Structure 1
Amino acid sequence: MASTAPWTQHKPTALLVLADGTVIEGRGLGAEGEAVGEVCFNTALTGYEEILTDPSYTGQIVTFTFPHIGNVGTNEEDIEDLTPAARAGAIGAVFKAGITDPSNYRAEGGLDQWLKRRGIVAISGVDTRALTAHIRVGGAPNAIVAHAPDGIFDLDELKAKAATWSGLVGLDLAKDVTSGQSSTWTETPWIWNEGYGELAEPDMHIVAVDYGIKRNILRQLAGLGAKVTVVPADMPADDILAMEPDGIFLSNGPGDPAATGEYAVPIIQDLLDADIPVFGICLGHQMLALALGGNTVKMHQGHHGANHPVKDHTTAKVEIVSMNHGFAVDGDTLPDGVEETHVSLFDGSNCGLAITGKPVFSVQHHPEASPGPQDSHYLFRRFANLIRERRGEPALAER
């Protein structure tokens, strides 16, 4: 799977070592050192900065199937983790081509230096098509990516670390990326040539439980007039309800939902008893399913990209969405009274649920579209309408 580019005739400065002993040579980029995690592949053509800063990628090494990564540089507007100093997100990256100088009017710097600052270990010169095929056949492997400018590696040690890493199953990673304390969010979505706005007069209050939340989710909520209070993942339900929210949002995040659910599920169950509108995305969707009595499963290769077709059974429409998850809800385990609202047209896996007769729903995909198409933005309006309906106010148009 190593590249045949001319520079590979010299000593490699980076290695990707899979748990099965496969060794892939390349050129090191970003941070020096090593990072062990699960290797996945992402099929998005744009948005590499948003992908690498998505806290849901914590514990993962992202292989980009698009060959030219870094050509538009980086900037401070496109990061997705809530607390940049914590540097939540992908721990490693795999590229086909080397990083070129940035060419974009929004660029504030190059990707290589940006990777260094964030501590992301990267390797380029890899046959990413072959690596992607390897993952599709064998599943997402555990691996270690190492970068040493002098090209000196202890291969036996790297193989041992890759082979003995425990993997994502059973790991509660939300505790590592959640907010340390409550905070208020009022920034609204980005507008071309203007930047981000600021919510002046909120007309609703949403409490967002942070399992690894993305900034653009918060912006979408604020854009509909919501002041958002972001709270830690383990905040008790009584403390959340004491804030008198109009709605509760369960965020995306990394790791095994069953592990995070050990403390999060009882909180969610108490919140559901309050009969307040609830909306969940990604990990929040999975843990809502657990709270309702369903099960989650580890996927063979996961869904990662901005080109996934999903059908909304409530409208019979098909939308193209962003996905980023290695676990999924087992739709067959959803109890009576819980409706499967969305399904993946790639593999038929569950992508959404709703409680019959209650203002509670969730989706597996990322309707905030960062990166990705905006087909699913209507879901935020659907959530706002549940709040407006509860208050006796007219609904907003979903589209």
Structure 2
Amino acid sequence: MTSAVLILEDGKKYYGTGLGYQGTVLGEVVFNTGMTGYQEVLTDPSYTGQIVTMTYPLIGNYGITDDYAESNGPKVRGFVVREACKMPSNWRNEGTVDEYLSRHNIMGVSGIDTRSLTRRIRSLGTLRGAITTEEELVANPDSLLEQVRQMTTNGPELVRTVTTEKVYHLPGQGPKVVVMDFGIKQNILRMLQEYGWDVTVVPSYTSAKEIMALAPGGLFLSNGPGDPKDVPEAVATVRELMNVLPVAGICLGHQVIGLALGCETYKLKFGHRGANHPVKDIGSNRTFITSQNHGYAIDGRSLPSNVEMTHQNINDDTVEGLRVKDRPIFSVQYHPEAAPGPEDSRYLFDQFTRLMTQ
């Protein structure tokens, strides 16, 4: 057992035990309120660059299995838990969280008061921080403070590091759809195949001309990490294509659509991350429990006259969905494909299929 410390940019220190890889790592410290789905959280590309704190106190009790991964490996910068289970119980288990993080060179820390840490982030907002197991830094973590405070948490490289490097095709008998990959989760692709779409996945920086050369019947924008303003080339591409194609987006894709329509975006105080966020469908007045993972939102005061809010977050009234009144375009801020989380919002995939086939 190796001593470790998490130090935040405001100087607050949390001492615990090293988890996974050993060394020092810096990142944006956020929290996730999900009770399960820790491997999906670890492998979600939307967490690129972030140190993720799990609010549920026991993590790893059903172990690790490749079937639960949402990408080719962990994408988090660091992982913070109250207690990491050392003896998982699951017939599919292939190892512990500690072993999984070590294998992928991801640092973590266990044994800290995650309730106190979460309350601090909720009070002060998302904070930059560092995890270290290096003896001299554990003894004097204040020496990391200047480096933490100067750290940049966003930038176009976040999406560039998780988007696909080449175009690939997933055949289907349904509508032909091009998916712009900003850091797509595997369950999104599984859902698209389940609905029978003929899917071509392209990098985030693909031009409108290149996309139209694929003769799609629709454009789908995936989730991804960071600030939507860091991908202006994608915003320009979507702005051009929304005049000729049905367009749908989720998470970062939702924000990119918003920017392309002329909306403004802003950073939330501490973001929405978890599998239990209540969202109201304004048209039906029904409430759905949703899976979310984002730190930015669309400013509802900036919606153009031809754009309406279709979904609203019940906790803080933020915009959770948009629809263009005179064009086949809509988006949602949350993850209708879940993984982890509820499947209440799968109907949105049917909705986009109807838009493409009408």
Please, what TM-score do these two structures have when normalized by structure 2?
Answer: 0.96
Instruction: Assess if the C-alpha contact under 8 Å between 1:13 and 1:151 holds in 2.
Output: no
- Distance across 2 between alignment mates of 1:153 and 1:215: 41
Instruction: Assess if the C-alpha contact under 8 Å between 1:122 and 1:147 holds in 2.
Output: no
Match of 1:49 among 23, 39, 53: 39
Instruction: Assess if the C-alpha contact under 8 Å between 1:172 and 1:257 holds in 2.
Output: no
**Residue correspondence of structure 1 range 213-362 to structure 2 within 5 A:** 213-260=184-231, 262-274=232-244, 276-362=245-331
Once the two structures are superposed, residues 32-83 of structure 1 have per-residue CA deviations (whole angstroms, 9 ceiling, x without a partner) of: 11221111111001100001110000111111010110111111111112xx
Once the two structures are superposed, residues 278-335 of structure 1 have per-residue CA deviations (whole angstroms, 9 ceiling, x without a partner) of: 1100000001000000010011010001000001112221100001000111011011
Q: Is the alpha carbon distance of 1:329 and 1:182 closer, same or farther for their aligned partners in structure 2, counting shifts above 3 Å? A: same
Aligned to 2:126: 140
Instruction: Assess if the C-alpha contact under 8 Å between 2:137 and 2:143 holds in 1.
Output: no
Shift of 1:249: 0.5
Instruction: Assess if the C-alpha contact under 8 Å between 1:302 and 1:327 holds in 2.
Output: yes
Aligned to 1:197: none
SS at 2:66's partner residue? coil
Once the two structures are superposed, residues 232-269 of structure 1 have per-residue CA deviations (whole angstroms, 9 ceiling, x without a partner) of: 00111111111111211111100111111x21111011
Aligned to 1:29: 19
- Distance across 1 between alignment mates of 2:143 and 2:167: 42
Asked if 1:207 is matched to 2:144, the reply is no
- Distance across 2 between alignment mates of 1:126 and 1:148: 17
Asked if 1:130 is matched to 2:130, the reply is no
Shift of 1:100: 2.2
Asked if 1:16 is matched to 2:6, the reply is yes
- Distance across 2 between alignment mates of 1:277 and 1:88: 33
- Aligned-pair identity in percent equals 45
After superposing on structure 2, the runs of 4+ consecutive aligned residues of structure 1 that deviate more than 6 Å are none
Between 149-158 and 206-215, report the one with greater CA deviation. 149-158
SS at 1:77's partner residue? helix
AA at the equivalent of 1:263: E
Q: Give ranges in structure 1 of 5+ residues lacking alignment.
A: 1-6, 187-200, 390-399
Q: Give ranges in structure 2 of 5+ residues lacking alignment.
A: none
- Distance across 1 between alignment mates of 2:27 and 2:207: 31
- Distance across 1 between alignment mates of 2:196 and 2:47: 29
SS at 2:67's partner residue? coil
AA at the equivalent of 2:146: A
- Distance across 1 between alignment mates of 2:197 and 2:138: 53
Instruction: Assess if the C-alpha contact under 8 Å between 2:282 and 2:311 holds in 1.
Output: yes
Instruction: Assess if the C-alpha contact under 8 Å between 1:307 and 1:321 holds in 2.
Output: yes
Q: Number of aligned residue pairs: give it.
A: 358
Aligned to 1:180: 165
Match of 2:68 among 66, 74, 78: 78
Instruction: Assess if the C-alpha contact under 8 Å between 1:352 and 1:361 holds in 2.
Output: yes
- Distance across 2 between alignment mates of 1:149 and 1:118: 22
Shift of 1:147: 2.8
**Residue correspondence of structure 1 range 92-171 to structure 2 within 5 A:** 92-148=78-134, 154-168=140-154
Once the two structures are superposed, residues 115-162 of structure 1 have per-residue CA deviations (whole angstroms, 9 ceiling, x without a partner) of: 112222110001111111101100010001123489855523322221
Instruction: Assess if the C-alpha contact under 8 Å between 2:137 and 2:144 holds in 1.
Output: no
- Distance across 1 between alignment mates of 2:243 and 2:344: 31
**Residue correspondence of structure 1 range 61-72 to structure 2 within 5 A:** 61-72=51-62
- Distance across 2 between alignment mates of 1:150 and 1:258: 39
SS at 1:383's partner residue? helix
Instruction: Assess if the C-alpha contact under 8 Å between 2:132 and 2:138 holds in 1.
Output: no
Shift of 1:167: 2.9
